C-alpha cells in the first residue's frame, strides 16, 4: 500500500474489509479504517437502485 501511494503521488484513505481486516489492520500503519460491512452495504445500494429499474 505504501508503494502504491508513493507511485501515485497521492494519499488516499485506506479501508480494510473482509474476515481478516481487523487482524491485518492491527499490524499496518497504512490502514485508516476497518469497515466490516462495506461489501454488503455496496450490494444493498446496487439492489435498491435496481429495484427502481424493474417494471
Cell numbers describing residue 24? 491485518
Residue 55 predicted with pLDDT over 80: no
Q: What is the pTM of this model?
A: 0.69
With a pLDDT cut of 70, the percent of the chain lying above it is: 96
pLDDT at residue number 52: 80
* DSSP secondary structure, 1-55, as one string: -HHHHHHHT-----EE-STTHHHHHHH-SS--EE-TTHHHHHHHHHHHHHHTT--
> What is the rounded (10 degree) CA torsion for 22, 43, 45, 20?
0
With a pLDDT cut of 90, the percent of the chain lying above it is: 84
Residue 54 predicted with pLDDT over 70: no
Amino acid at each position: 500500500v505504501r508503494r502504491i501511494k508513493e507511485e501515485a503521488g497521492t494519499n488516499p484513505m485506506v479501508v480494510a474489509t473482509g474476515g481478516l481486516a481487523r487482524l491485518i489492520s492491527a499490524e499496518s500503519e497504512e490502514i485508516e479504517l476497518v469497515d466490516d460491512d462495506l461489501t454488503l452495504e455496496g450490494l444493498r445500494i446496487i439492489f435498491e437502485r435496481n429495484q427502481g429499474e424493474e417494471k
